[in-house]
Amino acid sequence: MQELCTADVFYGPKASGNRHYIAYRGASAWSDVPKEYQQVPNLILMSGEPGAFKAEFLNGGRPVQRCGSGNLAVAAFINDQLTDSPSNELLLTPAGKVKLGFDHRSAYYFDKPLAQRPLRNLGFWRRLVRQPVINGCYCGGRNDYVLLEVGQSLTKFKLNSGVLCRFSQRALILVYRPPSGELQLRYFAPQYGPAEDAATGSASVQAVAYLRRQYPQYYGHQRIVIKQCSPAGGWLYLKRYRQYELVRGRTNLAMKTGRSFYGI
């Protein structure tokens, strides 16, 4: 079995982050998932060379369409293992081409928010989360996200995952705007794997798009810092570039050689 590189993304003080395992085979593309990798959580099968990298994201052998923390893990791996200096790359993923890179601050990637539309059945979502819901929206299609802005801190929030799974195929994004301090975010997708982890890159992009539209006087084109309030989560840093959001997160890359990198 090929040695796997580990990459912890979105980690921070008291936060373990989201761990990915990267298998890289150079220019040769992966034709299928090797048997020995089929139960590996948060696996990235990577191939290609500078200018033409490709990555597939899997969780327990199941494909994942988009993965923000995976994009950052790949960016950190390219910087540490495959290039001599920080660079920008185009990565081909199941969701399309992603621009990513690494500079003196951290790994980063660009993501375009999904289309958002008004929330229906607000009463159901209030009962589900048992929190005061200020507003919300649907993001993308029926298999993507529902976003709720709530009026209470998310640090101790607990979700009834069974009810969410029975009544919706959408992953749930919760956002709280405290009177002071960082924005709080929680992300739940029990329909597709563990109920909650720190894999919130794509969710944070939807949350920031909602906030910029809903509160332009506060967020507009400002750089935004979000605290992911799950036990594993850390901090996300987002900045707007035209129709895209640049997403940054801390990364810790390690192999048996002992090489690693800490961003931000």
Q: What is the pLDDT of residues 105-151, one digit of tens each?
A: 899 999 999 999 999 888 999 999 999 999 999 999 988 999 999 99
Beta strands at 235-241 and 244-249: parallel, antiparallel or unpaired = antiparallel
- The enclosing H or E element of 69 equals helix 68-77
- 85 or 246: which carries more pLDDT confidence? 246
Q: What is the pLDDT of residue 13?
A: 65
252 to each of 40, 183, 189, 205, 263, how far by Cα in Å?
A: 19, 23, 24, 22, 7
pTM for this model (two decimals): 0.87
Q: Which domains does the chain have, with CATH numbers?
A: 5-107+249-254 (3.10.310.10), 116-242 (3.10.310.10)
Q: What is the pLDDT of residues 21-32, one digit of tens each?
A: 999 998 888 988
Tokens describing residue 206: 């939807």
Q: What is the pLDDT of residue 191?
A: 78
Q: Residues of the chain with pLDDT > 90: what percent?
A: 48
Q: How far apart are CA 11 and CA 205, in angstroms?
A: 18
Q: How far apart are CA 121 and CA 26, in angstroms?
A: 49
Nearest to 229 by CA among 12, 21, 79, 61: 12
Question: Taking a C-beta distance cutoff of 8 angstroms, is the pair 201, 233 a contact?
Answer: no
- The enclosing H or E element of 223 equals none
Residue 45 pLDDT grade (very low, low, confident, very high; cuts 50, 70, 90): very high
Q: What is the pLDDT of residue 253?
A: 85
Q: What is the pLDDT of residues 209-220, one digit of tens each?
A: 999 999 999 999
Q: What is the pLDDT of residue 28?
A: 86
Residue 88's DSSP bridge partners are 101
